[in-house]
Chain A
Amino acid sequence: MSDVPAVRIERLSKSFGGVEVLRDIELTVNKGEVVSVLGSSGSGKSTLLRCINWLEEPDRGSIHIAGQRIGIDASGRKMRNKELAALRARTGMVFQGFNLWPHLTVLHNVMESPVQVKGMRKDEARRIALELLEKVGMVEKADAYPYTLSGGQKQRVAIARALAMSPEVILFDEPTSALDPERVGEVLQVMKNLSAEGYTMIVVTHEMEFARAVSDQVVFLEKGLLIEKSDPETFFTNPASERVRRFLELA
């Protein structure tokens, strides 16, 4: 194994106010893999995702992004904000609520991070942003402001914004849950295309079909424990755990 995994999570635990929401999570995501994270509400899926880029600070365990530990520096101390930001810049995140910046145009939403964080020249950032907007089918809306867009369009812009940083991994936190059913497909299509292009993605989702068709691994969280980790075929046809079986029957 010469290739460093895009994300390596070891013995990750996290509590909120005495309630353990994640316990001893182990997960390795190799470059180019798509991992779907399933589980019922409150099972810790989103917290797991948010620990990967330290939007939530884990209590125990370690997370490596492309071989580099996030949150804790070499001497075992908590990272300074600058170091943490530099590592976060190597991950992308797409949120359930889009979280576009409303005062910036679509184009500038996508250009903003490369220019501000990476110090990229504006014309270069603009070129890349337009390419990415083309990729997600939003280039004709480059000069529009976010409030004029539909949910599906906003989410596609948010995906382009995440891609603009050329991240090692893109974290999707229920990217289609806030969309009306007619708009879900356009976002999932973009995500399918990304997986075909070899992007590494961790997707918290309730879209079973997507998870089955696109994932390399499917994991299932239940009350903070990772109780199933398998390839999609096994997961959906012959899961090891009784809990997953019941979940799939109801879903």
Chain B
Amino acid sequence: MSEWAIVWEARGAILDGFYNTLILFGLSVTLAFVLGCAFAYWLETRNPATLALRGFINCMRMLPFLILAYLLYYGLPSLGLRLNAWTAGLIALVVYYGAYFGEVLRGARLVLPEGQVEAAKAHGFTGFKVFRRIVLPQLIIKTRPLMGNLLILCLKDTAFLTIITVQELTAAANSVQSTYFVPMEAFVVVILLYWLISICLELALKWAGRFGAKRGFEHV
């Protein structure tokens, strides 16, 4: 039996890993995006709490993702909090990429013309409505390419979770290759599957770009 046939025989395990990666990735970027938006709103004002948040975001930026996953999975039990691998992995992704989403939105916020915010205030908008209706939609339109990069980085970081025993795509490939000793074929298949997700992301982001192009934000 050829090596490729062996991988084909093991397709059930690989597909299970693939679905798990998809779910983990989809759920984590969705929650991280919401968290990032909340961070961006939190940073609209300046008080001790926002300083603490800035500190937290900077911590996430200097921390390798794998270390964060280790801390949550292996470190927290010593503080009496035991998470299963999947939950720990999800939380790690959400917190880590939430910080990055927040940081990207913050950067765009710094260069948003202040006059638009003043116009909203002058028409009676309160702070949250200014953010939700005027500021945030524009930040999202403007940061689309950066968000796209973050999505792909996040997808690739899901592979680290194999090290804390999450049964995702890389874990599945690793299990197949070590059982049947077909490392090249197993990992090539996995690369193609990651690539497939990336291509779908690229297409979705490109499609989303029309939204901004129609409004004169960019030329796609």
Number of A-B contacts (CB under 8 A): 80
Most buried by B among A92, A93, A103, A116: A103
Query: Is A165 a contact partner of B123 (Cβ separation < 8 A)?
Result: yes
Q: Are B216 and A148 in contact (CB under 8 A)?
A: yes
Of chain A, the residue at the smallest CB distance from B123 is: A113
Contact B125 A101 (CB under 8 A): no
Given contacts A82-B126, A102-B138, contact A145 B214 (CB under 8 A): yes
Answer whether residue A55 sits at the interface, using C-beta atoms and an 8 A cutoff.
Answer: yes
Q: Which residues of the partner chain B approach A113 to less than 8 Å between Cβ atoms?
A: 120, 123-125
A interface: dominant SS: mixed
Asked if B200 is at the interface of the complex by the 8 Å CB criterion, the answer is no
B216 and chain A: residue at smallest CB distance: A147
A88 with B119: in contact, given A103-B137, A116-B133 (CB under 8 Å)? no
A89 within 8 A of B: yes
**B92 nearest CB across to chain A (Å):** 33
A78-135 residues at the B interface, CB under 8 angstroms = 81-82, 85-86, 88-93, 95, 97, 99-103, 112-113, 116-118
Check B121 for interface membership: any CB of A closer than 8 A.
yes
Contacting residues, chain B, for A158 (C-beta < 8 A): 119
Q: In the assembly, what is the distance between CA of A4 and CA of B214, in Å? A: 46
Chain B neighbourhood of A148, CB < 8 A: 216
Chain B residue with minimal CB distance to A53?
B122
Contact B123 A162 (CB under 8 A): yes
Task: Return A229 CB to nearest CB of chain B, in Å.
Answer: 25
Min CB–CB distance A159 → chain B (angstroms): 12
For the complex, is A45 an interface residue (Cβ under 8 Å from B)? Answer: no
Which residues of B are in contact with A by a Cβ distance under 8 Å? 113, 115-116, 118-127, 129, 133-134, 137-138, 141, 214-217
Interface residues of A, Cβ cutoff 8 Å to B: 53, 55, 81-82, 85-86, 88-93, 95, 97, 99-103, 112-113, 116-118, 145-148, 158, 161-162, 165, 171
Q: A91-B122, A112-B133, A145-B215 are in contact. List 5 more A-B contacts (CB 8 A).
A: A85-B125, A89-B124, A117-B123, A117-B129, A146-B216
9 A-B pairs (CB sep. < 8 Å) = A85-B121, A85-B126, A90-B124, A91-B122, A95-B118, A102-B216, A112-B133, A117-B123, A161-B119
